């Protein structure tokens, strides 16, 4: 079985003039895929979203992989204002696309790092809209916080004929209620401000006992609440979610 | 930035007497996570489901990582009859749990490889039920076929306030219809035998134009159909799915 050359059989290098959207997973640096790790090693340009203070969670997750490079990459941080104003966000994406476009037109490989998965509530979608028509693009999926949450809870997300849905704290009461009534397993993302509302809906729909709560999955400040009776009925952090799975499940 | 020692900062080794469920992703060997790759390097025992002919898709996906080991691992294939008879499946899980229990009781680390993610329609759930109470367990999430499908299609699975649901070809017409009506994005797994029924439901619910079809994602025989008019109205392979996303989407 020993074969020290085998890693070369599936080495993967970023191609020139190609735009990659690469998921870095939910927080644990070891949840990067081999592909994303290798793209980070070989890309000319590494880009990511950062906040207006210059902190990038995506870069932080990929830090070990970036530091493992034998030579420094050019890095491009896309500063994103913390606001629900879509005009400001779209302006930031426009500027980022213009900058990355120059690198791609010059024949460089560009890897855009995304928390979680690039196409699951991801900012990469907006850059793909702007650059996808003009350059070769590739998407490398990443571990979502949904799958990381199930792993942390050690609770099957779906078994056999169970159905599964994802909604967020931004959905209406009616949408969340219908989803809880119709699907065996439900994940409610971005629970933050909506936590009291979600707790009320879980009681109303009889799904209280099925609920689990997590925040900051895979980070140092991770918190897991298995019994919702132990969870404060008040707003919490943005990076939090509920996982609702049936107590009685098929064997 | 160059730091050749940095890989050691996050080396990860399988712990004694610990049972790991590790996702190997949908098919591309590079979509293993660094964590699963490192667990494979360091585990005493590597286990996986195989068919009655002795072929294991999970092992095949992880083959490069297994061959990269410096010494051979003990391997345990759990032979699973191709049948919808749950009694036969449960019997196979009982036998597998008994065998793996002996290794764990002897202090060995056991990594059970799972296609996709261990807790998303995964066989690992049934071994976790049987062994979870008696040994330390850890779950390492994997890339699901859902996220791999979106990456292959280069279509955002969810944007902003879109909701998302997963059903399968095993659900009733009514369940699939409701889901298509209520959620912006829908993935229908295990489309195989149900393909004609699913196509009819997509027409009825007005979601025909939103539909894409994929089979054998990330494997050599991968097939992608972006326009459902090009898809035969007949049963297809088990490893196939539909991705339904709105044509008009928020910016």
The confidence score (pLDDT) of residue A1 equals: 34
The rounded distance, in Å, linking the Cα atoms of A234 and B79 is 49
The confidence score (pLDDT) of residue A6 equals: 40
Instruction: Closest CB to B1: pick one of A69, A121, A128.
Output: A69
Q: Are B136 and B146 in contact (CB under 8 A)?
A: no
Contact B10 A29 (CB under 8 A): yes
Instruction: Closest CB to A148: pick one of B141, B159, B179.
Output: B141
Contact B31 A141 (CB under 8 A): yes
A145-244 placed in CATH 2.40.50.140: no
Contact A168 B170 (CB under 8 A): no
The confidence score (pLDDT) of residue A238 equals: 87
Residues of chain A with CATH 3.40.1010.10: 6-140
Handedness of CA A149, B76, A162, B191 (dihedral sign): positive
Q: Are A210 and A247 in contact (CB under 8 A)?
A: yes
Instruction: Closest CB to B165: pick one of A6, A163, A168.
Output: A163
Instruction: Closest CB to B121: pick one of A32, A158, A178.
Output: A158
Best mutation target among A158, A174, A187, A249 (most B Cβ atoms within 10 Å) is: A158
Query: CB neighbours of A220 closer than 8 A, spacing ≥ 6?
Result: none
Complex-level ipTM? 0.92
Contact A31 B28 (CB under 8 A): no
Instruction: Closest CB to B165: pick one of A10, A31, A165.
Output: A165
Distance from CA of A1 to the nearest CA of B (A): 5
Distance from CA of B231 to the nearest CA of A (A): 24
Interval B49-85: pLDDT, tens: 999 899 999 999 999 999 999 999 999 999 988 777 8
Interval B141-159: pLDDT, tens: 999 999 999 999 999 998 8
Kindly report the pTM of this predicted structure. Answer: 0.93
The confidence score (pLDDT) of residue A7 equals: 47
Nearest CA in chain A to B10: A30
Distance from CA of B230 to the nearest CA of A (A): 23
Instruction: Find residue B212's DSSP bridge partners.
Output: B243
Q: B179-182 long-range CB contacts below 8 Å, 24 or more apart? A: B179/A163, B179/A165, B179/A182, B180/B205, B180/B207, B180/B244, B181/B205, B182/A175, B182/A178, B182/A179, B182/A182
Neighbours of A128 (CB within 10 A): 22
Nearest CA in chain A to B186: A165
Helix, strand, coil percentages, rounded to 5, for chain B: 35, 20, 40
Nearest CA in chain B to A125: B156
Give me the residues of chain A with pLDDT under 50, please.
Answer: 1-7
Helix (H, G, I), strand (E, B) or coil at A166: strand
Distance from CA of A233 to the nearest CA of B (A): 24
Contact B67 A6 (CB under 8 A): yes
Contact B150 A137 (CB under 8 A): no
Distances (CA, A) of A162 to A140, B11, B168, B189, B218: 28, 36, 9, 12, 25
The confidence score (pLDDT) of residue B218 equals: 82
The rounded distance, in Å, linking the Cα atoms of B16 and A250 is 31
- Quick one: how far is CA B191 from the chain centroid? 15
Class of A6-140 in CATH: alpha beta
Interval B87-125: pLDDT, tens: 988 999 999 999 999 999 999 999 999 999 999 988 899
Interval A1-18: pLDDT, tens: 333 334 455 689 999 999
The confidence score (pLDDT) of residue B250 equals: 66
Distance from CA of B234 to the nearest CA of A (A): 22
- Closest listed residue to residue B239, CA positions, set B184, B168, B185: B168
H helix intervals, chain A: 6-9, 34-42, 57-61, 63-67, 86-105, 124-131, 145-153, 173-182, 195-204
The confidence score (pLDDT) of residue B121 equals: 85
H helix intervals, chain B: 6-9, 34-42, 57-61, 63-67, 86-105, 124-131, 145-153, 173-182, 195-204
- Quick one: how far is CA B246 from the chain centroid? 25
The confidence score (pLDDT) of residue B3 equals: 38
Q: Are B32 and B62 in contact (CB under 8 A)?
A: yes
Distances (CA, A) of B39 to A34, A61, A67, B61, B153: 13, 20, 22, 15, 31
Question: Which helix (H) or strand (E) element contains residue A140?
Answer: strand A136-140
Instruction: Closest CB to B32: pick one of A33, A86, A132.
Output: A33
Count chain A–chain B contacts defined by CB atoms under 8 A: 220
Query: CB neighbours of B72 closer than 8 A, spacing ≥ 6?
Result: A1, A2
- Closest listed residue to residue B244, CA positions, set B184, B177, B191, B169: B184
- Contacts A23 to B, Cβ<8 Å: 147
Best mutation target among A59, A75, A120, A131 (most B Cβ atoms within 10 Å) is: A120
* Mean pLDDT rounded to a whole number for chain A: 92
The confidence score (pLDDT) of residue B251 equals: 63
CATH of domain B10-140: 3.40.1010.10
Q: Are A36 and A23 in contact (CB under 8 A)?
A: yes
In the structure, what pLDDT confidence band is assigned to residue B249 with cuts at 50, 70 and 90? confident
Query: CB neighbours of B203 closer than 8 A, spacing ≥ 6?
Result: none
Residues of chain A with CATH 3.30.950.10: 145-244
Contact B30 A35 (CB under 8 A): yes
Helix (H, G, I), strand (E, B) or coil at B80: coil
Contact B64 A10 (CB under 8 A): yes
Instruction: Closest CB to B141: pick one of A6, A9, A31.
Output: A31
> For the residues B220-230, what does the mean pLDDT come to?
93
The rounded distance, in Å, linking the Cα atoms of B248 and B85 is 43
């Amino acid at each position: 079985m020993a074969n020290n050359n085998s890693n070369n059989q599936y080495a993967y290098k970023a191609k020139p003039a190609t735009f990659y959207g690469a998921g870095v997973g939910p927080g644990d640096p070891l949840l990067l895929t081999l592909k994303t790790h290798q793209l980070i090693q070989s890309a000319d340009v590494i880009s990511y979203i950062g906040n207006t203070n210059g902190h990038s969670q995506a870069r932080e997750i990929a830090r070990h992989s970036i530091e493992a490079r034998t030579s420094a990459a050019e890095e491009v941080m896309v500063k994103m204002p913390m606001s629900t104003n879509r005009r400001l966000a779209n302006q930031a994406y426009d500027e980022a696309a213009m900058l990355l476009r120059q690198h791609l037109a010059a024949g460089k490989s560009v890897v855009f790092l995304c928390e979680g998965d690039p196409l699951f509530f991801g900012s990469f979608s907006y850059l793909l809209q702007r650059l996808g028509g003009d350059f070769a693009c590739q998407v490398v999926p990443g571990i979502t916080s949904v799958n990381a949450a199930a792993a942390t809870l050690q609770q099957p997300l779906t078994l056999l004929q169970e159905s599964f849905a994802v909604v967020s704290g931004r959905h209406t009461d009616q949408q969340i209620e219908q989803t809880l009534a119709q699907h065996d397993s439900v994940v409610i993302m971005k629970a933050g401000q909506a936590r009291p509302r979600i707790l009320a809906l879980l009681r109303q729909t009889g799904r209280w006992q099925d609920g689990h709560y997590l925040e900051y999955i895979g980070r140092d400040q991770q918190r897991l609440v298995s019994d919702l009776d132990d969870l404060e009925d008040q707003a919490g952090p943005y990076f939090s979610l509920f996982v609702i799975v049936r107590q009685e499940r098929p064997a």
